[in-house]
Amino acid sequence: MSMRCIAAALVAAFSMASSWAAERPESAGNTPHPLDAAEIGSWLGGLLPYGLKNGDIAGAVVVVVKDGQTLFQSGYGYADVEKRIPMDPERTMTRIGSTSKLFTWTAVMQLVGQGRLDLHRNVDDYLDFKVSAPGGRPITLLALMNHEGGFEEGLKDSLSLDPQTFQSTETYLKQHPRPLLFPPGTVPAYSNYGTALAGYIVQRVSAEPYERYIEQHIFLLLGMRHSTFEQPLPGRFEGMISQGYRTASGPPQPYELVATDPAGGAATTAADMARFMIAHLQQGHLEKYDLLSSQTAQLMQSPSETGLPGFATMAHGFVHEVRNGRTLIGHGGDTLFFHAQLELLPQEGVGIFYGFNSRGRDDAVYGLRKALLDQFMDRYFPDTAPQHESTPLPTAVADARKIVGRYETSRRVEHGFLSVFYLLQQTVIAADPDGTLITTKAFEPGEARLREVSPNLWREVGGTRQLALTKINGVKTVLDSEDPTSVLQAVPGYRSASLNLSVLSGSLLILVCTVILWPVSHLLRRHYQRPLAYPPEGRRLWTFLRIAAAIDVAWMICWIMVLLPVLNIQLDFYSTAHDSRIRTLQLAGWVVMALAVGSLWNVWRLCRFESAWRYRIGNSLIAAALLGLAWVGYVGGLLSFDLNY
């Protein structure tokens, strides 16, 4: 299960990436290094020990295959820091997060090849419950493969660290149906729920439990003896699984239990992943066994959707892209503590898999993971085509005005309190006077600058990343050439992060000051014997505003306590066990709304008793702050009664 894009608020700045990215050589005109074990060992022997140490990452495993054989495999660092157990590519099992999806899609394609599944059929025909909207466009398996099922993101009960609270995939799918944000087949929005649905379909059609099907028809078939989707980890693998860490210098973390098992529950070794890669590189064949027929394997590796030239697309579950002039298919994956990447070069017969067992300091693993693939491609498969700087288009300034703005990812939560993260942190695209775009880099700190190379198409200066402006379902949309699983959608003005952050911070500042100054002013008046110059009704109105401020501050403090686990990457916190607390806060939110409306009447009444403008302004500011907090609560989903977040 990929945790990379739960919310934009969850994506930290990858501070270690800049030093590794600086070592990436220029591709153009480079002579490739020989792809042999000695050369790979020398390169990784310099990169990974340095990266692990500086990123505070406990360990890593890497395997490279070529021409049907394991060319290189090695472990770096420790599977257990305290016991000094080294990472072993043959025996150390790691979690691979969303790279697990490739097994699910392989299983789907097996059943497609047997005529038991149809990629274009409504998935409701295979399920014992409905997910397609009545009377709407049906959701197909192909839409799920392309992350175009239209589902909203979901977090509740998706991850657990306690086997007693862990839900099976079937239970999770039925108890936490995801709302549809988009018509199926129109907008890519990365979905673990969608892949879990596909895994459940494999289970129903094959009449075998999903975990057993993968074991019998993929793992054992390929000789992957140290791989499993079973959760918790079966006893036969005791002592083989690597510990998971936030940082190598911190304590080990519990074994993660993923409810969307087909989307991210696998544990395996690098050596086992080598066999899986070889089978796919050999058109579904490994030794005397057929994982897929050649025809089905070829179909699976071909794009399953059309895309703009130079833009990555989905290929029946693989991410398909052209890098350095070569076709690359693969998938990355993240749990809270483990991180993995699998990439295949089908035309070259080469594959690489690597996994890490820690997030690292400041989420350093993401920068190291990106640097490893960048350097692998530039070192062994460099782009030898000459690079030419494009001439600025005369329409650059005018077209820049069309794309400039604030955007939110299509992979988001809208029907629950977690939507507040998407409200308060958005992607900004700005422009220089000459029409050069400025936005955030992908998985690296700093800004990316892009120039228009054709109408409504921009390319990164000194890079290959591209952005394209289009409209989907009438919404202004930005496509990113490096991410076919989601898009950026223009944010309506009322959801602007700058607006709502200003309202939230200003309102909280006023209300907190009001609550603090309330007892202070009371003590000062008592000391100087200067009571409030209001009649009894005025005093009640004055007191009402202060009580309302105190209630609002307490309400927001409680919400902050509920939201903090997201920022601390404690996603197992969000479970059915907290429904009563969250429901109480949701109900309290409507009290906050009522107090905000009531404050307007109170201020109007107070003006009858107060002639000094500074007091009128002060009371009006309190009322405005109460309204501001109610506004952010409403737009951010804090007043929603939805517990399916």
Contact 532, 542 (CB under 8 A): yes
Q: What is the mean pLDDT of residues 475-487?
A: 97
pLDDT by residue (tens digit) across 218-257? 999 999 999 999 999 999 999 999 999 999 999 999 999 9
Return d(Cα 205, Cα 565) in angstroms, integer: 38
- Percent of the chain residues topping a pLDDT of 70: 93
Residue type, 364: A
DSSP H helices in 256-351? 261-264, 270-281, 294-300
- Percent of the chain residues topping a pLDDT of 90: 83
- pTM to 2 decimals? 0.92
Predicted local confidence at residue 61, as pLDDT? 98
What Å distances lie between residue 150 and 42, 96, 180, 410, 580, CA to CA?
A: 45, 25, 5, 9, 29
**Strand 483-490 vs strand 257-258: parallel, antiparallel, or unpaired?**
unpaired
Question: Comparing C-alpha atoms, which of 335, 332, 333, 342 is closest to residue 359?
Answer: 335
Q: Residue 16 pLDDT more than 70?
A: no
Question: Comparing C-alpha atoms, which of 438, 444, 416 is closest to residue 559?
Answer: 416
Q: What is the mean pLDDT of residues 167-173?
A: 96
Return d(Cα 67, Cα 564) in angstroms, integer: 49
Exposed, middle or buried: residue 376 (CB in 10 Å: 0-12, 13-18, 19+)?
A: buried
The H or E element containing residue 61 is: strand 59-66
pLDDT by residue (tens digit) across 133-168? 998 999 999 999 999 999 999 999 999 999 999 999
pLDDT by residue (tens digit) across 510-550? 999 999 998 888 787 777 777 766 667 767 878 899 999 99
Residue type, 167: Q
Q: Residue 8 pLDDT more than 50?
A: no
Predicted local confidence at residue 534, as pLDDT? 67
| pLDDT level of residue 319 (50, 70, 90 thresholds) | very high
Task: For the chain, give the number of residues.
Answer: 645
CATH superfamily of this structure's domain 35-380 = DD-peptidase/beta-lactamase superfamily (3.40.710.10)
Predicted local confidence at residue 28, as pLDDT? 43
* Mean predicted lDDT score pLDDT of the chain: 92
**Strand 447-454 vs strand 437-440: parallel, antiparallel, or unpaired?**
antiparallel
Tell me which DSSP letter residue 114 carries: T
